[in-house]
Amino acid sequence: MKQGNHDLPDTGARLSSAEHTRLSLIQAGLKLFGEKGYDGTTTREIASAAGANIGSISYHFGGKEGLRAACADHIVELVGGIAGSALDVPSEATGQLDPVAARAILMRVLETMTGFIAARPEAGLIVKFVLRELAHPTVALDRIYDGVFAPVHTRLCQVWEAATGRPAESDETKLTVFTLIGQLVYFRIASEAVQRRMGWSDIGSREAAAITAIASSNLEAILTAQTRDKDTKS
């Protein structure tokens, strides 16, 4: 396999040559745009990293701008799919969840997202790309925010309301959910520091399980505290 393709996700199906090239270019775009920025990355560098002909960028995406948009859409599809499978409850049914079921969903989402963010190599490319967009917003950030950030955060807030009785759209709930997400992202952003301090050579499934155990305890403590406070006030 050519350089740049080692982080290709397992799609569960054999890709055609064109599909493989397209996905390789997206992976290369995620990596280079995240590391060097859009303006600092050339199409020749992207094509070389993907092991593809430089003309394939125009063929598949219409140019570098189209590739950046495709990178954003790839993030929406991948992260949205992972989070959606963990949430696994229609939005209209969220209000019917009992607290026990809602807590179980929150725990499942935390475990699933920890495994992805902390241990999957592609998550590193995604986080770098998103951090670059957050620092220098473009239309790519709009696509990511509207496609996955806002809807997933909204759904999590709704499940949080079902679990604790705290209003989904309150500042407290929204900030609490951001805090829960942030602790997971930290292990990707600061993975080098975490590995050094922990004496880990890598963050794989065993290490991700250790992170999940602590994050789950944190989640349980917050849920218990917020539910207790609500019961006391009522």
Helix axes 205-233, 150-164, angle to 10 degrees: 50
pLDDT at residue 59 in the model: 96
- What residue ranges of the chain have pLDDT lower than 70? 1-15, 90-92, 229-234
Q: pTM score, two decimals?
A: 0.86
CA distances from 36 to 29, 45, 104, 127, 141 (A): 10, 11, 40, 14, 17
172: nearest Cα among 159, 160, 185, 186: 160
pLDDT at residue 107 in the model: 95
Report residue 127 as tokens: 């986080």
| Cα torsion angle, 172, 177, 183, 188, sign | negative
Helix axes 171-189, 191-198, angle to 10 degrees: 70
pLDDT at residue 8 in the model: 45
CA distances from 142 to 18, 70, 80, 88 (A): 28, 13, 15, 25
Burial (0-12, 13-18, 19+ Cβ within 10 Å), 69? middle
Tell me if 105 sits within 8 A of 173, measured CB to CB: no
Give the three-state DSSP class for 67: helix
CA distances from 12 to 15, 56, 151, 221 (A): 9, 24, 26, 38
pLDDT at residue 3 in the model: 39
187: nearest Cα among 105, 145, 127: 127
pLDDT at residue 16 in the model: 81
The pLDDT tens digits for 62-84 are 999 999 999 999 999 999 999 98
Q: How far apart are CA 209 and CA 222, in angstroms?
A: 20
pLDDT at residue 89 in the model: 74
Q: How far apart are CA 177 and CA 153, in angstroms?
A: 7
pLDDT at residue 233 in the model: 59
